[in-house]
């Protein structure tokens, strides 16, 4: 029998560990190297712990509003320590599951910092061990970005990791960055009792999301008592004895906010600084590892996946990239396709999108738009979650769906129908004529498609 192909994967996050499992299923012998915790940012410091906090905030909001359903509740309170303990327990349960999966597949897991010796050899910095393989996958993820703001590093500013480790709820918080990370934290803290202001550099929150959807969310945030300032350039952060001050400019005015906590949520950047990639001559572009459409780097046999690519920094994209990379290592020749990647934001109401925004679609096609509002959906009325809408963008000439944008209850679950349909070449007519269950939230998608034909 031919010797098994050996694959080394650097990084045990959502790009790395699913790729390791896929590689074993394809017949490879796999070594996985992780310098911190299995599960990476998503499981330990990102997707999972933040959603655990959002679930606690959601539960608290529902109790506060339960009287509309005829349920009067008294004597409840927020047990913040219990909230944080549950968050930790959820993370520990899932990381234990990852370890069990890797062990069941007989994947060798090495704890330590990987660095290149050559294009086939990795050295573990702490032990000096050398790992030689036929192919290497770089999946080392990202770290919080730190923009050049005066006083940012010396003023005790929290990053997203610090929020997840907070021991008490701050009375006031200024969040620098109105992307999905900043907005999710804003809602969590607001429900827990913090006075929150979000400062976003761009003209809209959640940059890159369809403008109409982002505007709808911003109105909801403001109604809930969260301050939102767009076109806000933070000039300086300074720290006093017990308070911090944030100086910013917006629309030609200079303003200053006093706060207990400043939270930096200005995005993330690829992290591969410890690898020593200069030893093997890997190409880097705009601070990210450069790959071709098969996810192979400039050095044959070395591939990369996930946040180190600097592209769409989403967990499910990282997993798809990692899986595709190992398939190509094992002999496939498949390009990575990004046309139907869903984006999900776990705010209240939730946002989920796939395909082109209205702004982008208008640049490329003659389009038509269908909208349907949750306030007219029976299930949403029953749930008392009537904010938001489904917006479908269709190509007027060919009839195909170019984009689906949802803001409303369970949007992150509803979007999968659109993702699958668009991947299979669905037309607006197909979606409009598909029978949807009643009463259900999914009817909003059908209704939005039907509105295009009206």
Average pLDDT estimate for 304-319: 96
| Residue 235, helix vs strand vs coil | strand
Question: How far apart (Å, rounded) are the C-alpha atoms in residues 171 and 280?
Answer: 50
- Grade residue 160 by pLDDT with cuts at 50, 70 and 90: confident
Q: What whole-number distance in Å separates Cα of residue 13 and Cα of residue 36?
A: 10
Angle between helices 411-423 and 443-453 (to 10 degrees): 50
Strand segments, DSSP code E, in 181-335 are 195-199, 227-229, 232-239, 244-250, 253-259, 261-264, 268-270, 284-285, 288-289, 302-304
Helix runs in 46-79, H state only: 47-64
pLDDT in tens, 389-417: 999 999 999 899 999 999 999 999 999 99
pLDDT band at 281 (very low <50, low <70, confident <90, very high): very high
Whole-number percent of the chain with pLDDT over 90: 92
Catalytic residue check, 436: no
Give residue-wise pLDDT tens across range 217-252: 999 999 999 999 999 999 999 987 678 999 999 989
Reported confidence tier of residue 454, pLDDT bands at 50, 70, 90: low
**Four-residue CA torsion sign, 272, 276, 282, 285:** positive
Residue 102 in this model has a pLDDT that exceeds 90 = yes
Q: Is the pLDDT of residue 1 over 60?
A: no
**Residue in 90, 202, 160 with CA at minimum distance from that of residue 313:** 160
66 CB neighbour count, 10 Å cutoff: 14
* Average pLDDT value over all residues in the chain: 95
Model confidence band, residue 153 (pLDDT cutoffs 50, 70, 90): confident
pLDDT at residue 4, rounded to an integer: 86
What's the average model confidence in pLDDT over 350-356?
97
Q: Which entry of 135, 410, 436, 438 is annotated as an active-site residue? A: 438
Confidence of residue 2 (pLDDT cuts 50, 70, 90): low
pLDDT digits (tens, 9 = 90+) for 55-83: 999 999 999 999 999 999 988 999 999 99
Instruction: Name the pTM for this structure.
Output: 0.93
């Amino acid at each position: 029998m031919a010797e098994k192909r050996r694959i080394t994967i650097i990084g045990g996050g959502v790009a790395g560990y699913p790729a390791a499992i896929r590689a074993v299923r394809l017949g490879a012998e796999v070594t996985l190297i992780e310098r911190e915790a299995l599960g990476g940012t998503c499981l330990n410091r990102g997707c999972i712990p933040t959603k655990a906090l959002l679930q606690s905030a959601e539960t608290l909001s529902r109790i506060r509003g339960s009287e509309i359903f005829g349920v009067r509740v008294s004597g409840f309170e927020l047990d913040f320590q219990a909230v944080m303990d549950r968050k930790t327990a959820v993370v520990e349960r899932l990381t234990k599951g990852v370890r069990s999966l890797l062990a069941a597949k007989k994947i060798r897991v090495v704890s330590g910092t990987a660095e290149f010796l050559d294009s086939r050899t990795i050295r573990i910095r702490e032990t000096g061990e050398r790992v030689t393989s036929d192919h290497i996958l770089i999946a080392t993820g990202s770290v919080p970005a730190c923009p050049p703001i005066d006083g940012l590093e010396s003023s005790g500013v929290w990053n997203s990791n610090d929020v997840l480790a907070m021991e008490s709820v701050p009375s006031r918080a200024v969040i620098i960055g109105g992307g999905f990370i900043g907005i999710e934290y804003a809602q969590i803290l607001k429900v827990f009792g913090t006075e929150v202001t979000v400062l976003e550099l761009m003209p809209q929150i959640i940059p890159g999301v369809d403008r109409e959807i982002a505007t709808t969310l911003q109105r909801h945030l403001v109604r809930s008592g969260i301050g939102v300032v767009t076109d806000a350039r933070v000039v300086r952060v300074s720290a006093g004895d017990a308070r911090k001050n944030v100086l910013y400019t917006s629309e030609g005015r200079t303003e200053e906010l006093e706060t207990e906590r400043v939270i930096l949520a200005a995005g993330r950047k690829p992290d591969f600084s410890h690898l020593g990639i200069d030893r093997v001559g890997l190409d880097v572009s705009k601070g990210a590892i450069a790959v071709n459409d098969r996810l192979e780097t400039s050095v044959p046999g070395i591939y990369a996946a996930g946040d180190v690519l600097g592209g769409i920094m989403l967990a499910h994209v990282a997993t798809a990239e990692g899986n595709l990379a190992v398939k190509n290592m094992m002999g496939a020749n498949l390009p990575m396709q990004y046309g139907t990647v869903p984006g999900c934001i776990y705010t209240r109401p939730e946002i989920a999108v796939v395909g082109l925004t209205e702004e982008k679609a208008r640049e490329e096609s003659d389009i038509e738009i269908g909208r349907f509002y949750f306030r007219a959906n029976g299930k949403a009325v029953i749930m008392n979650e009537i904010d938001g809408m489904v917006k479908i963008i269709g190509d007027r000439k060919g009839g195909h769906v170019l984009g689906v944008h949802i803001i409303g209850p369970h949007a992150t679950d509803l979007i999968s129908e659109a993702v699958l349909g668009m991947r299979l070449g669905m037309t607006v007519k197909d979606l409009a004529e598909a029978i949807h269950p009643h009463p259900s939230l999914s009817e909003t998608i059908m209704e939005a498609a039907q509105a295009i034909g009206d």
